[in-house]
Structure 1
Amino acid sequence: MARHTRKITQLTGLFIASLLALPVPAYELEIHGSNTIGAALAPMLVTGYLKEKTTGAVSAKGTGQENEQILAARVNNRLTDVLVAAHGSSTGFKALAAGQADIWASSRPVKPSEVEQFRARADLTTLESEHVIAIDGLAVLVHPSNPVSQMSIGTLGKIFSGQIRNWSELGGPDRPINLYARDDRSGTWDTFKSLVLGKQYTLDGNARRYESNDQLSDDVSLDPAGIGFSGLASVRNSKVLAISEGNAPALKPNQLTVASEDYPLSRRLFMYTPGDRMPPLAAGLIDFALGQKGQALVAESGFISQNPIAVKPEFDNSTPESFRRLTGNYQRLTVNFRFSEGRTRLDNKALRDLQRVQHYLEQHGRTADDLLLIGFADTQSHELRAQMISELRALSVRMALDKTGVRDVAYTGYGQYMPVGGAGSPRNGRVEVWIQTPRH
């Protein structure tokens, strides 16, 4: 009997020791990843969410580590603290995979290799796991005195790979070009590498690398020979260039061009969660971020909100007269419907944008009769084929809106005309949303 007692005591001791060895969560919620999101936007969203749950103050302090913040408040007489660690998008995935993060903040889409690595726990590509919290545009920055005002993505690639080394080659002064780039852990860098450098170019080894968007922008604004890139919220005192892709017109990043993702260097900012296995605090924060109050904070932070607004676009000389007539009595909503697979399957952002369009109509006292959907296609082998594809896209959005109660919206297709990207760009395949100009 004594032997059994000693054995049970030993097992109990081992069990307690194993419990003590488990990592104890230091914070109620941890958000790891993108500096673009974590520098200001994520803390603003956390603060806004906590303010809704408490009548007290929300405090903010550092951890002693650069690019980390702790937001805290008393909720139901209990301290609720949230860590935001902003060391780059790739670090966020690693933290989520290791169980150290509840939310992964990323300024790039999840990579296929990361999807596979995480698949046993959740599918990070589903609506339950992938949350577009804001739209950003990669701003290409130069010194305010630089006379260059626009360039193509191809020219950008040659500059940052060192093939173009002097501003005089671009119509500027005879001055060597100094390169400023984000570091390898940054989602901003991943986006620039994918959209600009691709497989054709490699970043010049003389480029200065930065963990912080703000610091990079500040340094470019002090260097007449400098050129760099950052998130749209970090333009600060630098000058922003208009960017073109293929034969499409050059566009500057602004409310409409970035929100609609027509701007060639526009990108989505994400929060990823492990499906429905996230704690209630994380789920509540995601719902807040995606809602109207959260999106208002997105706009306040300098990024582009997904809450639709109506604007009158400025057409350039390339806009066909038939399109001017078609939209003459309309304004454009700052939302485009885009597709994930094939030609008619809406992506995760589009599925949420359906609700946003519905809410816009309710808030402004408008109806489905005020809307017009215009579909577009990429260049096809035959003009008639492109027309058919563009109409099918618009019809698929119409049918999806029907399910939200926004019924029988007028629609049309505009074929392969008015591309916003180069030939083959998925951004060309889109459905724009137009709304009749109110009569006063």
Structure 2
Amino acid sequence: MRLWIGFLVGLWLPLAACASALPIPEHGPALRIQGSNTIGAALGPALVRGLMIERGLLEVSSEITGRDNEQRIVGQTAAGRRVEIDIAAHGSSTGFAALKQASADLAASSRPIKDSELQELKSLGDLKSPGAEQVIAIDGLAIILHPQNPLRQLDTLQLARIFSGEAKTWKALGGVGGAIHLYARDEQSGTYDTFKELVLSRQGKRLDPTARRYESSEQLSDAVSQDPQGIGFIGLPYVRQAKAVAIVDGDSQPMLPLNSLIATEDYPLSRRLFFYLPASPNNPWAEALVEFAQSDQGQAIVAANGFIAQTVQAMAVTPNALMPEGYQALSRHAQRLSVNFRFEEGSASLDSKAHQDLGRVLDYIQRHGKTERRVTLVGFGDAKDDPARADLLSRLRAMAVRRELVKYGVTLREVRGFGALMPVAANNEDEGRIRNRRVEVWVY
């Protein structure tokens, strides 16, 4: 985490009431956040309020700006000075556009930055670097139906056919009822971008233009829950009164959007929620918010808002006959931590979230006395023409994580590789292969 030291001379006045002072601008907001509605509707404001309270501000509250999906969080110093933070939540792409136009200090996004956006914003630094690309929470896209719809699971190919308009009736899917009514987020939404990438584009399809589009997650969910023929996609906290179905991707098992499966990003429609922090110009409030979001207190706010915190926990796994025997034995004697290490595309280098998770895993291991032969790493990969090569590569990925843990005094019990077994995504494209290349952490 980059730490900002000093003040921007002439533009800011120090917030002297705080032990760790943050500056206050003479005029206007101290911080401008734009982007994802998934983040900006509730999670972003909750994190901002938490930061303000932590920093000693008084009378922290939200103000209505009169503009849809925008709000202002305000507080006062002990000396009575007003502090404002503005949040506009019109979709992830608008956050990157605002960074380019210098009308935002921090972008909130419910999808990774695109290569084109990265290129356009290169003057602000490398926004894919671990310091700039900050995963603040894990979310799962839930596929929602009316509560009385009898369907229990759908696969990603069926979803593509449904939302492209090719599958037009519930009867064609083995369900009951007439025409399928489609509900979707608006064009600017990161939720829509994620669904388009994970479901539609993978099958070479586009959203049916007859789908009803919503900027508000809550309104979309409520509309589906009142329509017996409706189906929609939504961020996990917004299932509300609707019914979520299990999802299958390729050869994966059916998975409901459960917290444990989303925390490890095994659930096919799981996704990361991001803050993107430019290196230049620096805004100390932006850096403070990112640091707060990654803290235990910030992650507690993430969980309280219905998303999946990145706090590491041990989970019992029930063995079943579909698991390799070695994995069944492991699940009978050890517990799995609620994190997977994943890698940069085409390499054995840990990605930005993995770098953040490394510290969390080390903290868990040290706090629970697991540093001496109490940890097993299990690597997985994507299918290869030669199964022996898949086995080797899965073990090498686990060894890459081992090297990092050993640096901090952890002696491992075992490192194992299971090759292309137990896929969590389809292997026929890059996105699925990246998801299958993972390392699990087990503790005794």
User: Which of the residues 187, 204, 220 maps onto 2:190?
Assistant: 187
Query: What is the CA distance between 1:409 and its match in structure 2?
Result: 5.5
What is the letter of the counterpart of residue 433 of structure 1?
A: V
Task: Confirm or deny: 8 A CA contact 1:107 1:188 kept in the other structure.
Answer: yes
User: Which of the residues 9, 34, 51 maps onto 1:32?
Assistant: 34
User: Which of the residues 338, 354, 357 maps onto 2:358?
Assistant: 354
| Secondary structure, aligned partner of 1:340 | coil
Q: Which residue of 2 aligns with 1:326?
A: 330
Query: What is the CA distance between 1:367 and its match in structure 2?
Result: 2.8
- 5+ long unaligned stretches in structure 1: 1-22
What is the letter of the counterpart of residue 123 of structure 1?
A: D
1:149/1:112 CA distance change after superposition, 3 Å? same
Q: Which residue of 2 aligns with 1:313?
A: 317
Q: Does 1:205 align with 2:209?
A: yes
After TM superposition, the structure 1 = structure 2 runs for residues 35-434 of structure 1, keeping only pairs within 5 Å, are 35-54=37-56, 56-75=58-77, 77=79, 78-198=81-201, 200-275=204-279, 277-408=281-412, 410-424=414-428, 425=432, 426-434=434-442
Return the alpha-carbon distance in structure 2 between the equivalents of residues 25 and 187 of structure 1.
31
What is the letter of the counterpart of residue 427 of structure 1?
A: R
Higher mean Cα deviation, 122-131 or 360-369? 360-369
1:325/1:46 CA distance change after superposition, 3 Å? same
**Alpha-carbon deviations, 1:332-376, whole Å to 9, x = none?**
111000001334100000001000001222333433522111000
Query: What is the CA distance between 1:26 and its match in structure 2?
Result: 2.4
What is the letter of the counterpart of residue 34 of structure 2?
A: H
Query: What is the CA distance between 1:24 and its match in structure 2?
Result: 9.0
- Higher-Rg structure is 1
What is the letter of the counterpart of residue 256 of structure 1?
A: S
**Alpha-carbon deviations, 1:195-252, whole Å to 9, x = none?**
1100611111110000011110011011110000000011101100111111111111
| Secondary structure, aligned partner of 2:332 | coil
1:24/1:179 CA distance change after superposition, 3 Å? farther
Task: Confirm or deny: 8 A CA contact 1:54 1:73 kept in the other structure.
Answer: no
What is the letter of the counterpart of residue 45 of structure 2?
A: P
Return the alpha-carbon distance in structure 1 between the equivalents of residues 90 and 346 of structure 2.
35
Query: What is the CA distance between 1:255 and its match in structure 2?
Result: 1.4
1:331/1:90 CA distance change after superposition, 3 Å? same
What is the letter of the counterpart of residue 348 of structure 2?
A: T
Q: Which residue of 2 aligns with 1:4?
A: none
| Secondary structure, aligned partner of 1:27 | coil
Task: Confirm or deny: 8 A CA contact 2:141 2:269 kept in the other structure.
Answer: yes
| Secondary structure, aligned partner of 2:123 | coil
TM-score (norm 2): 0.90
Return the alpha-carbon distance in structure 1 between the equivalents of residues 107 and 383 of structure 2.
36
What is the letter of the counterpart of residue 406 of structure 2?
A: D
What is the letter of the counterpart of residue 68 of structure 1?
A: E
Task: Confirm or deny: 8 A CA contact 2:140 2:270 kept in the other structure.
Answer: yes
Return the alpha-carbon distance in structure 2 between the equivalents of residues 394 and 187 of structure 1.
32
| Secondary structure, aligned partner of 1:303 | coil
Return the alpha-carbon distance in structure 2 between the equivalents of residues 371 and 81 of structure 1.
46
| Secondary structure, aligned partner of 1:261 | coil
Higher mean Cα deviation, 94-103 or 53-62? 53-62
Return the alpha-carbon distance in structure 1 between the equivalents of residues 155 and 275 of structure 2.
30
Task: Confirm or deny: 8 A CA contact 2:317 2:331 kept in the other structure.
Answer: no
TM-score (norm 1): 0.91
Return the alpha-carbon distance in structure 1 between the equivalents of residues 121 and 27 of structure 2.
21
Query: What is the CA distance between 1:317 and its match in structure 2?
Result: 4.2
What is the letter of the counterpart of residue 428 of structure 1?
A: N
Return the alpha-carbon distance in structure 1 between the equivalents of residues 237 and 161 of structure 2.
25
| Secondary structure, aligned partner of 2:118 | helix
Q: Does 1:435 align with 2:443?
A: yes
What is the letter of the counterpart of residue 77 of structure 2?
A: V
| Secondary structure, aligned partner of 2:34 | strand
Q: Which residue of 2 aligns with 1:12?
A: none
What is the letter of the counterpart of residue 51 of structure 2?
A: Y
Return the alpha-carbon distance in structure 2 between the equivalents of residues 179 and 223 of structure 1.
10
What is the letter of the counterpart of residue 147 of structure 1?
A: P
What number of residue pairs does the alignment pair up?
Answer: 414
**Alpha-carbon deviations, 1:138-171, whole Å to 9, x = none?**
0000011010010100000000011111111112
1:293/1:53 CA distance change after superposition, 3 Å? same
**Alpha-carbon deviations, 1:272-304, whole Å to 9, x = none?**
011264211111110010111111111110000
Task: Confirm or deny: 8 A CA contact 1:319 1:418 kept in the other structure.
Answer: yes
**Alpha-carbon deviations, 1:59-113, whole Å to 9, x = none?**
1111110111111112363322111111111111111111111110001110101
Return the alpha-carbon distance in structure 1 between the equivalents of residues 86 and 351 of structure 2.
30
1:57/1:403 CA distance change after superposition, 3 Å? farther
Higher mean Cα deviation, 243-252 or 69-78? 69-78
Percent sequence identity is: 47
Query: What is the CA distance between 1:194 and its match in structure 2?
Result: 0.7
